[in-house]
Every structure is written in structure tokens, then in C-alpha cells.
Amino acid sequence: MTKIIAISNQKGGVGKTTTTITLGAGLVQQGKKVLLIDFDPQGNMTSALGVKEPDELTNTISYLMDQELKSQPILMKDTIHKHNEGMDFIPCNINLASIDAKLVNTFSREKVLKRVLSRVKNKYDYILIDCLPTINLLNINALTAATDVIIPVQAEHLSIMGLCSLLDSVKRVKRELNRKLNIEGIVITMTDNRTNLSKIVEKTIRDNLGNSIHIFAESIPRSVRVAESSLAGCSVVQTDPHGKATKAYQSIVM
């Protein structure tokens, strides 16, 4: 069965896109067939995978959502790009923002992405969805299409705030739309062992949430190699295969 994982947190800049790409590249190394979905109008994942002008693209996840909304035929294969590390990806750009508005008046509006993915999911072991930093209908679509959710949380002050509303919407989706949705866990990102603050925040997150939600044992250290890799259009698994961030991401066994 295909595992469809939404990487979600409505807080911005916590490492969703980085986690999606790095886990995807790690799974490819394990011999898995992987599809990454950029589901954020910012198109950051698309850029970080080496696409120079995401906004120029027409064959994106927005096109697929739009065709599905209009019940028009869908040419899936034109939207599936191949990355040189072995994962497939469907790009995204600013056009996804207009899809959010179109969803409002649609029948079964929470299930549009699920219907799109049902056309390809048999070809993959894993589909990872890089969510946008907002709780809206697009995010609900991602959670409804997913079998699992991974929540990156940055090791910084105030990082727990806002998590409650995300967990509430996960619970609501579970209750009303997707009973089997499983919270795979929280991954703590951008830790810095040289500072006490980072250690205190990490401990606070583990102490406060560890009883109710699985928190991956290894947190992801801050590493300049991560930021460099996205500039190079690839994952840190490729640019720094033995680095600490790569090793930490590889320890997230799914």
C-alpha cells in the first residue's frame, strides 16, 4: 500500500520543505519509489529541486487540481518531473492560490487532491506532500489525501504555540474525513547543541508533547549544508552524504 505523508505545520519556516526533500531522497536510497508533491503556492520545493522559474510552469499540481475540479481529462504524466536523485515530483507555483478560492464552492471540496493522487498512487511506495504554512482548504485537502502526517517543529521559543490548532485540524479531519489518518510524529528541526536555549526548547517540546504524540528520537541539527543544498537544486543527502543532518534524517525510519 502506498504511504502518503503530509508534511505539515502552519508555522512558516520550520523545515517542511527541507524535510520533504530530504526524506524523499533518503527513501530513494532505500530503493523506494517516491513522488514528492509541492503543495505550496510559494513553490519553494519546486525551486529547491532545481526549477529556475516555477511561475512559468503550466503543468503543475494546480493544473491537476483545476482539471479535477472541472471533471476534465487529466494528463498526469506531463506534470511528473524527474529529479536526478531518483525521485519524481509534481511542481507548484503561485497558481495554487487561486485553486484555494475555487475549492470553496466545489462538491466534496476536501477530497480533490485525494482524487488526483488516486490516479498515480499505485506507481509509488511513498508520496510526500510539502504543505503550505496555513490551515486552509488546501491543507485540509493534503490531510484528507494522506495516510500519515509528519509535523516538523523548529527548536525555537514559541514553537509549541500554534501546534494546538494544527493538531485540532488533524483531529477534525480524522473524525470527519479520513478516519485512518495517522500522526507519524513530530520531528524537531534546526537544533543547535552549542546553545542552551536550543536544548531547553527541545526538552520542553519533548516533555509537553511526548506523552501524547510520537517525537522522533533524533532531532535534525542546524547545518549550513542544508541551506546550500537547496541552492544547488538537490538534497543534503546528495551534497553531504555523511553529514549530521543527513544522518539524522536517515534515522527517521518510516
Residue ranges binding Mg ion (CB under 5 A): 16-17, 44
Q: How far apart are CA 62 and CA 78, in angstroms?
A: 13
Q: Please report which helix (H) or strand (E) contains residue 118, including its range.
A: helix 112-118
Cβ atoms 166, 9 nearer than 8 A: yes
Cβ atoms 31, 139 nearer than 8 A: no
Please pick, from the candidates 14, 90, 120, 140, the single residue that binds ligand ATP as defined by CB under 6 A: 14
* Burial of 233: CB neighbours in 10 Å, binned 0-12, 13-18, 19+: middle
Binding mask 22-41 for ligand ATP (x = CB under 6 A): ------------------x-
- Identify what 144 binds: ligand ATP, Mg ion, none; CB under 5 to 8 Å per kind: none
Q: Least distance to Mg ion from the beta carbon of 160, Å? A: 20
Please pick, from the candidates 13, 86, 162, 233, the single residue that binds ligand ATP as defined by CB under 6 A: 13
- Identify what 227 binds: ligand ATP, Mg ion, none; CB under 5 to 8 Å per kind: ligand ATP
Tell me how crowded residue 13 is: count the other CB atoms within 10 A of its CB.
Answer: 14
Binding mask 214-253 for ligand ATP (x = CB under 6 A): ------x-xx--xx--x--------------x--------
Closest CA to 113 of 8, 233, 14, 29: 8
Q: Kindly list the residues in this chain that would bind ligand ATP in the complex (CB under 6 A).
A: 12-18, 40, 42, 44, 133, 189-190, 220, 222-223, 226-227, 230, 245
